[in-house]
Structure 1
Amino acid sequence: MTKPPPPGSRLSLPEVWLEQHGDALYRYAYFRVNDAPLAEDLVQDTLLAALQAQESFAGRAKERTWLIGILKHKLIDHLRKHAREQSVDTSPGSDQDIDALFKDDNWSHWRTPPAVWDNPSAALEQQQFWAVFSDCLGALPGRQAEAFTLCEIEGLDGSEACKVLGVATSNVWVLLHRARLRLRECLEHHWFDQGKRG
């Protein structure tokens, strides 16, 4: 049996955390790691850490916000550990496919302009779009996916992301640039072009 929440706090009993917040925590973790077993492990670690830290809950945030804050720390710890295990792609041919997307005389202009996309806010609300986006994000090389997730989804700035990834700030921007290019190509192929074919 677990201890009751500290007096004055608004925590519910730990026995109901999984039922009340498990789905939200799992979705949050899964969207960031795109790996069901890992997301489950992160949620389990989060709930265990919350159980151990429940006496420090001051009630300044809602219970779910507090749990998601703990989950964010678990995600960052996982990304740090994972970042140490992988290396940055610096092979000479890794930029050749990217070079082909831009005009020869000007790297700030696309060789072929991006396809006209339908209303992005409507597309973002569709569950199918998120499934395709998740697949595209999962298809990115590890470091690119991590950089994109940290900066664009988690909202970390470049200096924070470079600490998590253990790379120089310029490398974070290169990883983000490559991730955006590959996501653009993947989404155009698997989502936005589908309407033109159908």
Structure 2
Amino acid sequence: MSATRTLHAQLEALRPQLVRFAQLQLRNDAQAEDAVQDALIAVLEKPDSFRGQSSLRTYVTGILKFKIIDALRQGGRERQFDVDDAGEELVDALFAADGHTREMPRDWGDPDGTLEQKDFFRVLEVCLDKLPAQAARVFMMREWLEFDTDEICKELSVSASNVWVILYRARLRLRECLDLNWFGSAT
């Protein structure tokens, strides 16, 4: 099989994951498809740009990230944002009355090494899917797309304090999910 056909097959295998990621951010199936197609075309137009210093998935996702940012910045559509108060009990259960955490997080080992593992991203994706949609979106905008708070506020028409509360809750839920599904339960 030629290198071009191999690249096409690898990209086709990655496409469903890329579309899910784009849909999470853009909340519009057509825009998500367009962003993914633009990213895939960028890779196919310059296949020699991929030098294998990272995985193909990381490389294509990096390109897609910028396509999503472009789509978000050019989009002038209205967005509704619902604050998730349902997780308040979960947050309260993690802390003692004096404000300290009830249980310290376990040592997660070598984070850089963990990030290299493909399965970690699969588990992270499942954990993100379990978050309320808006919380997952704010988390991904902040941590993956590297939007600053002002950009998120502008994009979603919410206050900075709202963004920080949502990020805080999302991080707590992701920590719990990763503790249970990736790092293993406490012994």
TM-score, normalised to structure 2's length? 0.66
Does structure 1 residue 176 correspond to structure 2 residue 167?
A: yes
Residue number among 118, 126, 146 corresponding to 2:117 in the alignment: 126
Determine which structure has more spread, i.e. the larger CA radius of gyration: 1
Does structure 1 residue 110 correspond to structure 2 residue 101?
A: yes
Contact 1:86–1:143 (8 Å) recurs in 2? yes
Gap regions ≥5 residues in structure 1: 1-17, 51-61
Q: 1:126 to 1:143 in 2, by over 3 A?
A: same
Contact 2:131–2:170 (8 Å) recurs in 1? yes
Contact 1:34–1:134 (8 Å) recurs in 2? no
Q: 1:193 to 1:110 in 2, by over 3 A?
A: same
Does structure 1 residue 152 correspond to structure 2 residue 149?
A: no
Distance in 1 separating the partners of 2:178 and 2:76: 28
- Other-structure match for 2:33: 40
Residue number among 122, 127, 130 corresponding to 1:136 in the alignment: 127
Report sequence identity in percent. 39
Q: CA deviation at 1:166?
A: 1.4
Q: 1:171 to 1:71 in 2, by over 3 A?
A: closer
Residue number among 79, 83, 92 corresponding to 1:84 in the alignment: 79
Residue number among 63, 68, 72 corresponding to 2:69 in the alignment: 72
Distance in 2 separating the partners of 1:168 and 1:160: 11
Gap regions ≥5 residues in structure 2: 1-6, 43-48, 50-58
Contact 1:161–1:172 (8 Å) recurs in 2? yes
Q: 1:45 to 1:121 in 2, by over 3 A?
A: closer
Contact 2:35–2:67 (8 Å) recurs in 1? no
- Other-structure match for 2:54: none
- Other-structure match for 2:156: 165
Distance in 2 separating the partners of 1:41 and 1:180: 29
* SS class of match (1:102): coil
